[in-house]
Structure 1
């Protein structure tokens, strides 16, 4: 990476503060902005908490972070602007219209959307801004998950696409190039295909939700950090893969809408961990333990990777 970047993060909540942390830890200037004063006020303390959990000296990172409630001022000197706002297309349209007008003409404009095609997000922009718009789909928690999907829309300039990929690699992420702008990109298409089948198995009475999680965590889930699905298909052989698919594929679910089971649970007030009940029951202590165990696991995996270099 050439020189020190000025990075503006639009949205300092669930994802934004962690994205900012990555660039600040790599030595770049980061400005966080958010329309909610309480969210913005908590952004840097949350970064400090993340760093303490990783055993990192926070002082050397937060010195590169600042907050600015005014979006236009936040992006006025940026080389890279990353939008990390809620998944509402009209909101993203408004944000990027304002950002394109206020940011320098050379600034790369990036959206952290997890499913919305980048081409649709860029619809209100002029040709120059559309050419500088790229998708950067980070995964939660962004300071711990290595992957970032770099998505090229039909208008994204190739130099913008390549530069964004290079910046992300230089700050220690594991970027991948998404050459065609499809809904959900790569990771969420794979993840939610699994979720669709899992929920259908529960809804059909094949098993309960706990059994689904037990199966995944104690079988193919154990292999996946070192054996991806394409590697696995090649390992067992493509003839066997094809034979299994001939038997299995006709019986898999191809629902084009969310499962009615989700509608029923939500109508009953069972929205997930926060409500104490979702597909599985949750006490506050159990939910906190899952979050703690996930963070600990990810930190250990990152430490193990670093030690193996």
Structure 2
């Protein structure tokens, strides 16, 4: 197959990242609303679009719930939780926007049409990023007239607290657009992985999905409960991962010999039949067991209560890690 060379971004060029003042959030569900809250906390004005008549109330509730956590982390000068307008007309929401974050549901045909519509209405030179968690930009940009300015900017829930964003372009995305988006997210205070190539599921989702499949198999086979699986991570390897991640963790497990010793000594066990990376069939029995297990573990706590506890835990971990990093850099 012949690859079409990536086109440069046509004139006019994107604004300097420091000159951006207004952002369009297209789709303001959980992810898009989380993005809106984060952008507001960084001092930007947000113009949001969503076809649902209830979208305005939903995003207002999300912003109000997220604002205490964002305040605890530190707001940018001039940050205003009310500097947002909600529109049902896409062209109206895009008018004057200097960056666009699309966060529509994960339906390929919807994404293709919506990105084409955004491309048709956004001002020339404005970069358009998609929050997709699974589709490649190559397959989403097929109907867009200017695919060179379409980039994946994949966040993690909640995007107002989790710093990671994975950035990758499609076959027709301009490298300059990828570089601009990466610089833009870094300017916002995000931790950016700029991928060299499109990879199905990106990086973090691939790793999450492997753990998720294994967990479902263990529940399905009666090998572990939902609560046991969660505790095995929160009180086990999860405590090591925030600062060093799984690869460096295994490097340390090798002792003075590091990763080389780890691979040489434990390499044969990689072929042990421990894992079942194929997803199990989602039967009614498995679905019921997982749902009941989560209800048991929640122990009467509502979703908003669990979200508040999650947010406080994320803030505490981030603050401790930042202190450790500052100390090591001193």
TM-score, normalised to structure 2's length? 0.82
1:171 paired residue among 188, 205, 208:
188
1:204 paired residue among 221, 227, 245:
221
Matched, 1:85 2:104: yes
1:161 match: 178
1:7 match: 23
Describe the shift of the 1:271–1:119 C-alpha distance in structure 2 as closer, same or farther (beyond 3 A): farther
Shift, 1:203, TM fit = 2.3
Check conservation: 1:33, 1:40, Cα contact below 8 A.
no
1:285 match: 300
Describe the shift of the 1:282–1:231 C-alpha distance in structure 2 as closer, same or farther (beyond 3 A): closer
The DSSP-based 3-state class of the residue aligned with 1:183 is coil
1:213 match: 230
Deviations 1:132-188 (A, max 9, x none): 110011111110101011112222111111110111011111111112111110000
Deviations 1:26-75 (A, max 9, x none): 22221111111112233134212211344468983224322222112111
Q: Structure 1 residues 195-204 or 153-162, which shifts more?
A: 195-204
The DSSP-based 3-state class of the residue aligned with 2:244 is coil
Task: Give the superposed CA RMSD.
Answer: 2.5
Q: Structure 1 residues 178-187 or 200-209, which shifts more?
A: 200-209
Check conservation: 1:151, 1:178, Cα contact below 8 A.
yes
Deviations 1:255-303 (A, max 9, x none): 54x312x3224765x673xxxx256636672344532321110122334
Map of 1:136-155 to 2, 5 A cutoff? 136-155=153-172
Shift, 1:221, TM fit = 0.8
1:33 paired residue among 21, 35, 49:
49
Unaligned runs of at least 5 residues, structure 2: 1-16
Unaligned runs of at least 5 residues, structure 1: none
Map of 1:210-289 to 2, 5 A cutoff? 210-235=227-252, 236=254, 237=258, 238-256=260-278, 258-260=279-281, 262-265=282-285, 272=291, 277=292, 281=296, 285-288=300-303, 289=305
The count of residues paired between Structure 1 and Structure 2 equals 300
Check conservation: 2:87, 2:93, Cα contact below 8 A.
yes
> Which structure ranks higher in relative contact order (CA pairs < 8 Å, sequence separation ≥ 6)?
2
The DSSP-based 3-state class of the residue aligned with 1:109 is strand
2:36 paired residue among 16, 20, 26:
20
TM-score, normalised to structure 1's length? 0.87
Describe the shift of the 1:185–1:171 C-alpha distance in structure 2 as closer, same or farther (beyond 3 A): same
